[in-house]
Amino acid sequence: MDASPARHCIRPRNIQQPCSGMHRVCSACFAIRLASHVPCPRHPTSDSVNPGDQFLYSELKRKRSIRVLRISQASDGELEISLRARQLTDPEPFTALSYTWGDPSKTRPVICEGRRLDVTINLYTALQQFRADRRTDDLWIDAICINQASQEEKAAQVRMMGQLYGRADLVLTWLGESTTGDEEAFDLLNILHERVPFPPPPGPLYRRGYVNCQSAAELGIPGIDDKRWQRLGKLCRNPYWYRGWIIQETVLARRLIVQWGHLTTTGDKIFAFGCWWMKYQAVQMGANCSVFAVDDSTTSTTSQALDFECLKP
């Protein structure tokens, strides 16, 4: 048996059993470390890392350097990440995250190369979901990949932001955690994307850019009392859509995925619905209305009569 403790893996002192699986350890070495309260040097957790032992960033040496992160693919336990520097112009693909930070005063720690790094709750939840999805390699996330303590670095990275989102192989929009039933919002988006195309094509169903109420049933669009509209309203009220930065982050994307918890949809479906909603302003699918949707010129008179609370912010 190799007696060198540096080559053994011991879990933190509050765990009363040796590591399992590939993190095996002899009972003698385990007893020694447990008695001396020495945590595992190779596999620390947020409980075993001293709060003062914060992750320290290395300086980005080159002008157009960025950092990308990798999430450990361990299926349970603490969130562990690592960072590496690369050039923005390198050909290897990477994914850029577009999200809201959330309350900066509410954080949870992740382990970054053996040291503690605090992130907001919304970002922590995103990292957990990405690990579950095995979306773990070469992620660019501003709160982690930029040294937030360096004003000089932040200024330099912000100047590259447009190029960064434009060069990313994928821009991933994170809307936060979803709840049971939220998948119905994406179901309705799929229906609208298939049956109410934007811009509307010529034809009897789309006279003068309108969609008649009588045509709504023919198009197979759910009625206003369908609960999927309420779910879509919840999606539209997500705080993410009120960020000014999303214009740059999403419009420049080569490929855009919108993720809400474990649910995903493509960016083109979101954009099509957004354009459709901005174009027509108000929607009503009741039996007594004269049009399914109205254009800008009629908004002022019809909006008082139409009742579509589920999509109002």
Contact 229, 310 (CB under 8 A): yes
The total domain count for the chain is 3
Tens digits of residue pLDDT in 163-207: 999 999 999 999 999 999 999 999 999 988 888 766 555 555 444
244 located within any domain: yes
pLDDT band at 77 (very low <50, low <70, confident <90, very high): confident
Tens digits of residue pLDDT in 208-245: 444 544 466 777 788 777 889 899 999 989 999 988 88
230 vs 4, higher pLDDT: 230
Return left, alpha or beta for 21; rule: phi > 0 is left, psi -120 to 50 is alpha, else beta.
Answer: left
The predicted pLDDT at position 34 comes to 41
User: Do 208 and 160 have their domain in common?
Assistant: no
14-18, 60-64, 210-214, 271-275: range with lowest mean pLDDT: 14-18
| Per-residue tokens: 298 | 């009629």
User: Do 129 and 242 have their domain in common?
Assistant: no
The predicted pLDDT at position 195 comes to 80
User: Do 197 and 299 have their domain in common?
Assistant: yes
Contact 246, 240 (CB under 8 A): yes
Q: Which domain holds residue 170?
A: 65-174
Q: How many CB atoms lie within 10 A of CB 43?
A: 20
DSSP class per residue in 42-83: SS--TTTS-TT-B--PPPP-STTEEEEEEE---SSSS-EEEE
For residue 131, CA distances in Å to 60, 77, 87, 245 come to 26, 11, 25, 26
Is 157's pLDDT higher than 90? yes
User: Do 167 and 189 have their domain in common?
Assistant: no
Tens digits of residue pLDDT in 92-148: 999 999 999 989 899 999 999 989 999 999 999 999 999 999 999 999 999 999 999
The predicted pLDDT at position 215 comes to 60
59 located within any domain: no
212 located within any domain: yes
Tens digits of residue pLDDT in 265-305: 999 898 888 776 665 544 434 333 333 333 333 332 222 22
- CA torsion 235-241-247-249 (nearest 10°) is -80
Is 28's pLDDT higher than 90? no
17 located within any domain: yes
Strands 256-260 and 170-174: parallel
User: Do 107 and 227 have their domain in common?
Assistant: no
55 located within any domain: no
pLDDT band at 68 (very low <50, low <70, confident <90, very high): very high
d(CA 172, CA 158): 18
228 located within any domain: yes
47 located within any domain: no
User: Do 188 and 304 have their domain in common?
Assistant: yes
Contact 42, 9 (CB under 8 A): yes
Is 12's pLDDT higher than 70? no
The predicted pLDDT at position 78 comes to 83
| Residue in this structure with the two tokens 């190369």, named with its chain if needed | 113
Strands 115-120 and 263-266: unpaired
Residue 67: strand pairing partners:
85
- Is residue 115 classed as helix, strand or coil in its secondary structure? strand
Averaged pLDDT score across all residues of the chain? 74
Is 41's pLDDT higher than 60? no
Contact 143, 123 (CB under 8 A): yes
Is 52's pLDDT higher than 60? no
42 located within any domain: no
